[in-house]
Amino acid sequence: MTSNGIVQKLWNYCNILRDDGLSYGDYVEQLTFLLFLKMADEQIKDPYNKPRLIPKDLDWASLIKLDGEDLDRQYRHILTELGKKPGMLGVIFRKAQNKIQDPAKLKRLISDLIGREQWMSIEADVKGDAYEGLLEKNAADVKGGAGQYFTPRALINAIVDVIRPAPGQTINDPACGTGGFLLSAHYYLTHNYALDKDQKKKLKSGALSGTELVASVARLCVMNLYLHGIGGEESPIADGIDSLAQTPKTTYEIVLTNPPFGKKSSITVVNGEGEESKESLTYVRDDFWATTSNKQINFLQHVKSLLKMHGRAAIVVPDNVLFEGGAGETVRRKLLHECDVHTLLRLPTGIFYSQGVKANVLFFDRKPASETPWTKILWIYDFRTNQHFTLKTNTLKRSDLDDFVACYNPETRHQRKKTDRFQPFAYADLVKRDKASLDIFWLKDESLEDSASLPDPDIIAAEIAEDLQAALDQFAQIAADLRKS
């Protein structure tokens, strides 16, 4: 069966369960639990004959012979008990709940949908692609989807294509969401190199790792990796951990990440009278250049700390990281001096599921201490001006980024050529700019010059909505800051 066929089969049943109040996210979560149980059951049988991962009284076989209330009771018992286990089991089942209220529908999901397939015999690429398809459908769900955890795969693949990970290198994502960057790196390594036995073993467990704060998203990520053949009894993902809270104990050759959007970090404080107030959450770390409550600026500093010397990073950042004063300026000046900040990709609107996002990808390499700045020239690729995408009618494709990949010139990065969209900016000119702002454009917006160049009405409407949402978010933050002061 093809991955599209599996997705369609599983997704059709979701519509029945939605009538019972199950969200897309709830459905994908229940599929995750049942798929894992079924595959663990297949692995202990011929021809795999692997050691038992799940205790006998908590396994797939203990479910399939039951129905009605007995089935419901046993399923809840399995979820609770496996959530207490260490390693991968714990990450997948932690705080798991049965959201399917009707035991008859649960029985059908077990017997007809999950139970009829031999999942281990389906190639990892097909299984993994099918699960990715479910995650993408969940992300696209406007009402309750996990869009903020889903980076467009076309963008991820282009980033990995220019970073060009090599066998044996360690790759980390400190805000890994559903695992897009790690999976793309895995695909690149398995399709561009003839890996030997040791390299394959390291790629399965050890080369790829990540952190995810939200436990329910971490479980989707771990399952996503598992279906692609990554990870063993130990989870490659640390779940429920705030990446920014402490100095990293391990460093990596490559860090690829799209940290969560949202300008500030805050915690809710309840006083003795039961009144709630918001307090800014700042991280005081010796390895940070500046203390701030701006989450993205903190993530940028954190990514630098995660890198081994000469390690390479690509991080998605919103526009405010490029121009904000105060801590933002301090971090930009330090980054330009202490790292080789060589490439900036300015992204168009309409490609993220989160509305109002104007984002960029910053590429830099960590370098040893030096009196002279490491950044000599920052090359900026403007992929925003006169580019119009939407999530439905004109989605971003990997081929849309072919020109960026060619201009980046990953084979010989120091031999680049100027184009209309790709321009170099010297370090001396960057630090002279107000607040060392990297918010630089030079192309003319054709729609401002010529009404015939206007994009389609649905794209204009989507871009207006993006701008309004961004403005609303900024005003909401100003209002929150005023209330605090």
Give the pLDDT of residue 244: 92
Structure tokens at 336: 């330009």
Task: Give whole-number Cα distances, 232 to 113, 121, 206, 237, in Å.
Answer: 25, 18, 10, 11
Map 31-56 to HEC letters: HHHHHHHHHHHHHCCCCCCCCCCCCH
Structure-token pair, residue 98? 């049965």
pLDDT score, position 477? 64
At the topology level of CATH, where does 147-472 sit?
Rossmann fold (3.40.50)
CA dist 339 → 238, 259, 344, 412, 465 (Å): 27, 20, 14, 19, 36
Q: CA 173, CA 3: separation in Å to the nearest integer? A: 26
For 358, half-sphere exposure in the C-beta direction (CA atoms, 13 angstrom radius) is 21
Write the burial class of residue 296 (CB in 10 Å: 0-12 exposed, 13-18 middle, 19+ buried).
buried
CATH of domain 3-132: 1.20.1260.30
| pLDDT score of 145 | 47
CB 131 within 8 A of CB 224: yes
CA 72 to chain centre: 33
Which residues in the chain come in under a pLDDT of 70? 1, 141-149, 262-281, 353-356, 447-456, 458-460, 462-463, 466-467, 469-471, 473-474, 477, 480-481, 484-485
Residue 398: CB partners within 8 Å, gap ≥ 6? Answer: 153, 154, 157, 158
Amino acid at 455: P
pTM equals 0.86
Torsion of CA 186, 191, 197, 203, to 10 degrees: -10
Position 269 scores a pLDDT of 38
Distance between CA 212 and CA 208 in Å, rounded? 14
Give every CB contact of residue 332 below 8 A, 6+ residues apart in sequence: 322, 435, 436, 437, 438
pLDDT of residue 149: 61
Tally of residues, the chain: 485
Contacts of 256 (CB under 8 A, 6+ apart): 156, 159, 160, 163, 171, 172, 173, 181, 182, 185, 313, 314, 315
In 205-341, where does DSSP find H-type helix?
A: 215-227, 295-306, 320-323, 327-338
Which residues lie closer than 8 Å to 165 by C-beta, 6 or more apart?
A: 171, 185, 188, 189, 254
Torsion sign, CA atoms 192, 195, 200, 206: negative
Q: How far is CA 230 from the centre of its chain?
A: 17
String of DSSP letters for 392-450:
SSS---GGGGHHHHHHH-STTTTS----SSEEEEEHHHHHHSGGG------S--HHHH-
Cα–Cα distance for residue pair 32/319, rounded to 1 Å: 36
pLDDT of residue 124: 80
- Distance (Å, whole) CA 4 – CA 133: 8
Q: How far is CA 410 from the centre of its chain?
A: 23
Q: State whether residue 212 is helix, strand or coil.
A: strand
- CB atoms near residue 93 (< 10 Å): 23
Closest Cα to residue 37, out of 127, 137, 120? 120
- Long-range contacts formed by 454-457: CB under 8 A, 24+ apart: 455/388, 456/388, 456/393, 456/394
> Phi, psi at residue 300, to the nearest 5°?
-60, -45
Give the whole-angstrom CA distance, residue 454 versus residue 388. 10
| Cβ pair 89, 82 in contact under 8 A | yes
* DSSP one-letter string for 102-124: -HHHHHHIIIIIITTS-GGGS-H
For residues 297 and 438, give the distance between their C-alpha atoms in angstroms, rounded to a whole number.
14
Tokens of 338: 């202490």
**Burial (0-12, 13-18, 19+ Cβ within 10 Å), 258:** buried
Spell out the domain ranges in the chain: 3-132, 147-472
pLDDT at 450: 57
